[in-house]
Structure 1
Amino acid sequence: MNRNILAKDVQDFLKANREKSPTEIALKKSPFPNVSAPELAAQIDGWQRSVRKLPTWAFSEGIYYPDKINLEQCSSEHTALVKQTLITKGSRVIDLTGGFSVDSCYLAQEASEVIHCELNAKLSEIVAYNAKILRVANLNCIVTDGIELLKDSEDQAFDYIYVDPSRRVNQGKVFLLEDCEPNIVTHQDLLFQKSRYVISKLAPLLDITTALNSLKHVRFVYVISLDNDCKELLFIQERGYEGECKIRAIRLFQDKLQDLIFTYDEERSIISRFLLPQAYLYDPDVAITKAGAFKTVGKRFGLGKIHQHAHLYTSNEWNPDFPGRTFKISAVIPYSQLKKNNPWPQANIATRNFPDKVDVIRKKFKIKDGGSIYLFFTTDINNQLIVVAGERKS
């Protein structure tokens, strides 16, 4: 951490140039003897990455930004706010894989103390400095291996253990839970020896059922999306819990939150209702589909499915509370009819349970992207290929 970057003249320069290209700044000569041009560029790049993801950091004076990879891997403030609701007021928390500390700082607003473990001494120093700027007084930053610190701690020393296992091992990406570091599967007994609750932030691509087979005492699984992009899976384990796991799909969009709570037993027991396209079309958010609530979402909102494998829904009455996009249907035509006459020279295209991909369809029918019309190429309950046209309601 180059503390010369914190000097007022350097901070004034960064603020005046923060909208410029970091590459452009890096190629110019630095106006400061103790701060290099690449260091200036890195700070500007950090600010630009934080504007939408970490607005509290971006608009606090004097924040020091770490390496790019640390900002890429950290949580957003939106998802950190969800984690904040998972702990009780005044609890003691340890973050085994601290990183840039976004989650730790939000947990600290509820906890009496948060221990932030980070092996990277430079990053730990940056986090400790920024915590003072953000007035997070109860964040205790320690340069250490979180698992080793746990081993040296008293039994039940913490109320919650938070861990974000690294998916980058030996400079390569891994996808199995057992291959991540730390390996929370093999360390489960240790984790429950030191805490009642374990909150694990896992990769969005992870198969939920596979993870449930590897982890013990899982009480909740949270599937969190932001603007229809699945960001995180959270597994909440409680020592000794043997009941049914509840799945909570959370959709964050336009500063709003929608959620759907269900169990896999409930999902399996539901018999879906199938309908031809009615007046409205519903396209569920990725949090719903990733969670696997394909039948549950239809039942909860009184909708029929267009096809068993399409995961599109329909109704005659509009339901504005549906967790996803909704459309007013203007036309439904057989796909074969489109080959003879295409009435939509411009449209937004999506495919669901359809043999051709979007780029193939665009090229075949010369449909430009954009406009107010949305075309869904899909399969109906009679296994016929169809095109559903509509305009967005929500």
Structure 2
Amino acid sequence: MNRNILHKEVQDYIKAYRQLDPAVVAFKKSPFPDVSPSELAAQIDGWQRACKKLPTWAYSANIYYPDKINLEQCSSEHTALVKQSLIRKGSKVVDVTGGFSVDSCYIAQEAHIVVHCELNEKLSQIVKHNAEQLGVRNLVPLHTDGVKFVEEQEDDSLDYIYIDPSRRVNHAKVFLLEDCEPNIVELQDMFFRKSRYILCKLSPLMDINSALQKLKHVKLLYVISVDSDCKELLFLQDRDFNGETTITAIRLFSDQLQNISFTPEEEKSTLVKTSEPLNYLYDPDVAITKAGAFKSVAKAFGLFKLHTHTHLYTSENLVKDFPGRIFKIQNVYSLGEFKKLNTFAKANVATKNFPIKVDEIRKKFKIKDGGADFLYFVTDYAENHIVIHCSKVE
């Protein structure tokens, strides 16, 4: 950590040029002998990333930004607030895998104390500085191995252990829970001796059913998307809980929050009627589909499905608060009719439970991407291949 970056004249320079392309700044001569052009560029790049992901931090004075990879891997403010909501007031929390401390800083607003463990000494120094600037007085940054730190604590001395295991091992991506580092599957028994709760953040690429089989006492599972991009899976384990996991899909978009909760048994036992396309078409958000709420979302919003395995929904009347994209249906064609009548030179094409891929459809029917028209190529309740022409409801 180069503390010269925190000098007022350097911070003023960064603020004056923070709208520039960082690559341009990296090739300009630095006006400061103790701060290199690449360091100035890194701070400007960090600020620009924080504007989208961490606006509160971006507009706080004297925030020091770490290496790009640390910013890429950290949580956004919105997802950090979900974690904060799961922490009981006055709790003692250990963040085993540290990082840039976004989650730790938000959790600290509810907790009595948060110990932030980080193996990277430079990053730990940055976290300490930023916590001071943000006024997070109950965050304790330690340059240490988080697993060893927890192991050294007395049994039942903690309330929560927060862990975000790395999905990169030896520079290669891993997809099995037990291949991540640290190995939460092996560690959970030791963690439960030290703490009642384990809060585990996992990649959205992880298989939910597999994770639920390997993680013990999972009380709550959150599937979180931000602006239609599934960002993370969040598992809350409670060593005193032995019931069925409640799954909540959370859609965060345009400063709004939509959610739906269900249990696997409720999803399995729910009966949903199918229907031909009616007046409106509903395409669920990625958080809904990742969570597996295919029937639960239909029940919650009083919708019909187009087919058991076509995860699109329809209704006569508009359901405005549906968690996903909503369309007004203009026309419905059989595939044969569409082949004869196709007049769409440009449209947004999507497929659901359909044997032909989008690229093949575009090529076959000579449809360019874009425009106001949407074409859904789907299988309907009677096993027919149909094309639904619709327009988006804003």
State the TM bucket, normalised to the shorter chain.
Answer: over 0.9
The answer to whether 1:18 aligns with 2:10 is: no
Residue 177 of structure 1 corresponds to which residue in structure 2?
Answer: 177
Deviations 1:129-170 (A, max 9, x none): 001111111100001111100111111111111100011111
**d(CA) in 2 for partners of 1:154, 1:384:** 63
Report the counterpart of residue 55 of structure 1 in structure 2: 55
- In 1, distance between residues paired with 2:52 and 2:92? 30
User: What is aligned with 2:299?
Assistant: 299
1:361 aligns with 2:378: no
CA–CA separation in structure 2 for the residues paired with 1:144 and 1:230? 31
Counterpart of 1:284 in structure 2 is 284
CA distance in 2, matches of 1:188, 1:109: 25
The structural deviation recorded for 1:272 is: 2.2
Q: CA deviation at 1:320?
A: 1.1
Corresponding position of 1:272? 272
Runs of 5+ consecutive residues of structure 2 not aligned to the other structure: none
Deviation, 1:348, is 1.6
Alignment correspondent of 2:383: 383
What is the root-mean-square deviation of aligned Cα atoms in Å?
A: 1.1
Q: Counterparts in 2 of 1:66-81, with a 5 A limit?
A: 66-81=66-81
Which residue matches 2:218? Answer: 218
3-state SS, counterpart of residue 351 of structure 1: strand
Q: Matches of 2:27 and 2:365 in 1, distance apart? A: 46
Q: Distance in 2 between matches of 1:336 and 1:45?
A: 52
Shift of 1:355: 2.1
TM-score (norm 2): 0.98
Q: Match for 2:259: what amino acid? A: D
Q: How many residues align?
A: 394
Q: Deviations over 1:248-307 (max 9, x none)?
A: 111111111111110111111122211110111010111110000111111121111111
Give, in angstroms, the shift of residue 172 of structure 1.
Answer: 1.1
The amino acid of 1:47's aligned partner reads W
The reply on whether 1:324 has 2:324 as its aligned counterpart is yes
Map of 1:231 onto structure 2: 231
For residues 151 and 214 of structure 1, what CA distance do their matches in structure 2 show?
A: 21
Q: CA deviation at 1:171?
A: 1.4
Aligned partner of 2:241 in structure 1 is 241
The 1-side partners of 2:173 and 2:63 are apart by 30
SS at match of 1:187: helix
Using the TM superposition, give the Cα deviation of residue 240 of structure 1 relative to its aligned residue in structure 2, in angstroms. 2.7
Describe the superposition over 1:81-104 as per-residue Cα deviations: whole angstroms up to 9, x where unpaired: 111100111111110011000000
Taking structure 1 as the reference length, the TM-score comes to 0.98
The CA distance in 1 between the partners of 2:47 and 2:357, in whole Å, is: 37
Q: Which amino acid aligns with 1:245?
A: T
Q: Secondary structure at the match of 2:295?
A: helix
SS at match of 2:375: strand
Aligned-pair CA distance for 1:343: 2.6
> Aligned partner of 2:350: which letter?
A
Identity across matched positions, percent: 63
Give how far 1:202 is off: 0.6
Q: Distance in 2 between matches of 1:151 and 1:200?
A: 17
Give the Cα–Cα distance (whole angstroms) in 2 for the partners of residues 22 and 338 of structure 1. Answer: 49
Task: Give the Cα–Cα distance (whole angstroms) in 2 for the partners of residues 27 and 384 of structure 1.
Answer: 60
Question: Which residue of structure 2 lines up, in the alignment, with residue 146 of structure 1?
Answer: 146
Shift of 1:341: 2.3
Amino acid at match of 1:162: Y
* Aligned-partner SS, 1:347: strand
Query: Aligned AA for 2:195?
Result: S
Tell me, in whole angstroms, the C-alpha distance in 2 between the residues paired with 1:87 and 1:7.
36
Bigger shift: 161-170 or 18-27? Answer: 18-27
Q: Which residue identity does 2:252 align to in structure 1?
A: L
